[in-house]
Every structure is written in structure tokens, then in C-alpha cells.
Structure 1
Amino acid sequence: MRVVVVDDHAMFRRGVSAELGSTGAGRVEVVAEAADVDEAVAAVTAHRPDVVLLDVHLPGGGGVEVIRRVNDSEVRFLALSVSDAAEDVIGTIRGGARGYVTKTITGPELVDAIARVSDGDAVFSPRLAGFVLDAFAGAGLSADLASVDEDLDRLTEREREVMRLIARGYSYKEVAKELFISIKTVETHMSSVLRKLQLSSRHELTRWASDRRLL
């Protein structure tokens, strides 16, 4: 199975490629990597892989923009993201991805997920499947998501990532390590998040995110 790995963190891309080369030896070949939307579209167009491992939040428009611009029914997309927020999962699936797994997945599990998506199956991390079932069964989750779009639109993609991790109780140091950014950058994003959402503390942010089903 020929795979393109798309993520804006070079260290993470290299790690995934190395893991697939080791765990998926003989089953998976990483034919290209890309760091943003334009690079991803160019790589997929040039290599026409079986599966694209796609981060949700990318410079240039995000993972859904890659799917839209490629517009090739023969290429299947599997989202691989740090985010397990409902609006990211549902938005990406509605955008055309065949599956969505989080970056806590193990190497063997990822190889299996790639194989299943390549075969045409839909694959989700266990906790995420409920979001998708609810949304596409018309259980009202999509309406709930619409009500928080206005708040989330105030935040950049990176601020959303920082916001979710901080709201889950991560320390600034842990967030920096998770997102491959400096602690000072985390602090800057956090200040911006609190200002834009008109909140005054981590406690208020956690409550805000919990009320909106973003944790």
C-alpha cells in the first residue's frame, strides 16, 4: 500500500514514516511526505497513493481543503490528528475522509487502519465512532456543533489545539511537547485564547470547553 504522510511537524512525519517502514515492512511504502496543503496536493497528484495519512489542521486551509482539491475517488484519506474534538471528526468525515484516528494509535494499529481504509472500510478510534454515528444518524449533534462554530471561529487552528489540551489539564510544558512548539509559544497562544473567548482562567476554559463538548 502506497502512502503519503501529511503533517506540518517534520519530526512527527519522520516518526510516522519510520514506524510504517518498520512495522509495516512489506505492506506499506511511504512514497512522499508533505507539510501543508499545497505540498500535500502536489504529492498526492504526483504519486497517486492508495491512502493519504492526513493531519486535520494544516497551513493553507486544513485537511479538508486537501481532500477537496485532490478530488480523486481512487485516493482514500485517513485523518491522523492530535484532536479528538467532535467538530473536527465530523467535519473531516463530511469533507470526504474514510476514517479518523488519533495520534495515540500504535504502529500496528495504524498499519491495520491503513489497510482497512485502502480496502474501502471506514475506520475510527473507538471513542470517536460515537460522534460519527450520532451525527450521521441525525441525533442532533450537528446542531450542537453549529452553535459553537461562532466561538471557535475566533480562534486560529493552533489556538484551538492549545485550548483543547490546556482544557484537558495538560501543563504548558506537556502542551509544548505534544505540539512541538516552545513553552513561550504555548503561553502566547493561551493568552490569546482567553482574551478572544473573554475568559479569565484555565478553570473557566475547562468549563467552557466541557459545556461545548470539545473535550
Structure 2
Amino acid sequence: MSVRVVVADDQELVRAGFAMILDAQPDIQVVAEAGDGAQAVAAVREHRPDVLLLDIRMPVMDGIEAARLVCADGPCRVIMLTTFDLDDYVYDALRAGASGFLLKDVRRDDLVHAVRVVAAGQSLLAPAITTKLIAEFAGRAARPAGQVAPERLAALTTRERETLRLIARGLSNAEIAQAMVVSEHTVKTHVSNVLTKLGLRDRVQAVIAAYETGLTVPGDPD
């Protein structure tokens, strides 16, 4: 079964290039293209794709608002496109529900891999990028309140809190299992419980929640 994708970018050559690369894959189908944020939202509502590849800076409606609407509407997962690896908009995009981001100069194979990973329900950001990105923005002042209030951490067991802390440090399930001296299956259960209890979409939002609630702070030792 093909992964259905909508590609949204206001630069026609960029949009067409991404669409051509993805459509050439036997397991990926580009069902629509969009030149602005409003068109992207409309295309997702019409075609119900699995993944929306969305530029952060878009005319008519910016990518952040488009991502927020798409993620609130249904199961379509969003990959944000940016020209800067620590763009000020990236943190807001992740809080809006995006599953990760790619640089616009991404390699062909990495683009295809990213779409497949996100379509499978996983977060796109590599652990090292996740930690660097979230630590950078969570440490800044004057950020709006997060979606998880600190007191909600009380719903987690001690092991689940530790799992969340290790997720925020950028550890994979295998590394968490080693650190906690448990099986990888047990870690997967802990991760699932954390996401469910805190009402989070994926590991990216879990990292953000860990920083915003104060469970983890920038500069914590690895």
C-alpha cells in the first residue's frame, strides 16, 4: 500500500523536485502539490494523505498555522521544511504537532527515508538533533506555556518519568533499555504509557514536554 503525500512549498522548482523524487518511489504516491499554506490545508482535507511535506515559510498562511490545522484535523503527519537547522520557527512547528523537520538541501535518499519513517508513525528527528534543537529553544525566555502542565507528571510512575527523562536526552529505546537495565519491550511499553498519559503525539512532543515541565533542563549531563 502506497504512502500518500502532499508536497507544499511556494517555490515551484523545489516543490516539483521533491514531488518527482517521491513519486518515483514504488511505495510513495504524491497525491497533490500546494503553493501556499491555505492550499496545503485544503489539499490535505481533500486527499487525506499520510504525510504532508510542508515549508515553514509560506504565503497566505504560514507553515506553522497550516501544520496546527492539519495536525488537529486528523492523522496526517507533518514534516516541516526549513533552510536553517535551528530556525526560530522550528520549535513552534514541533509544538504545533509536526513530527520533525528536514533541511531543504536534504539528500534524495534521506528525503525518501524521512517520508517512510514518519508514515510509519515514528518521529523524524535523530536523537542528537532532537536534543540540540529542543535544548536550544526550551532554554529561551518568553516562550508560551507548554501543552503539558508540570503537575501532570504526577500521573507517571517513577520508571515512566525516568523513561521520559532519557527520551529528552536523545536516547534510543535500545539505549534506554541498557541505561535502565530492562528489556527493549519494557521500554516500548513505558514510552507508550508516557505518550498516552500526557496526551502526546510522538517522541518529539515528549522531548518538548520534558523541557517545558522542567523534568529536564538544558545542560543536563548526558
TM-score grouping bracket, smaller chain normalisation: 0.5 to 0.7
Amino acid at match of 1:37: G
Unaligned runs of 5+ in 2: 145-222
Identity of aligned pairs, percent? 37
Write out aligned runs for 1:128-167 (5 A): 128-134=129-135, 140=139, 142-143=140-141
Alignment CA distance shift 1:4-1:98 (3 Å): same
1:129, distance to aligned residue in structure 2 (A): 2.4
Q: Could you say which residue in structure 1 is the equivalent of 2:112?
A: 111
In 1: Cα distance, 2:15 partner to 2:128 partner = 24
Would you say how many aligned residue pairs link Structure 1 and Structure 2?
A: 141
Amino acid at match of 2:141: A
Unaligned runs of 5+ in 1: 147-215
1:134, distance to aligned residue in structure 2 (A): 1.3
1:127, distance to aligned residue in structure 2 (A): 6.9
In 2: Cα distance, 1:39 partner to 1:83 partner = 24
Contact 1:50–1:75 at 8 Å: present in 2 too? yes
In 1: Cα distance, 2:65 partner to 2:82 partner = 15
Alignment root-mean-square deviation, CA: 2.3
1:86, distance to aligned residue in structure 2 (A): 4.1
1:5, distance to aligned residue in structure 2 (A): 0.1
Alignment CA distance shift 1:125-1:55 (3 Å): farther
DSSP-derived class of the 2:31 partner = strand
Contact 2:7–2:52 at 8 Å: present in 1 too? yes
Amino acid at match of 1:27: D
Tell me the TM-score normalized by structure 1: 0.59
In 1: Cα distance, 2:61 partner to 2:128 partner = 26
DSSP-derived class of the 2:78 partner = strand
In 2: Cα distance, 1:33 partner to 1:82 partner = 20
1:85, distance to aligned residue in structure 2 (A): 2.7
Q: Could you say which residue in structure 2 is the equivalent of 1:58?
A: 58
DSSP-derived class of the 1:20 partner = helix
The structure with more helix, counted as a fraction of residues: 1
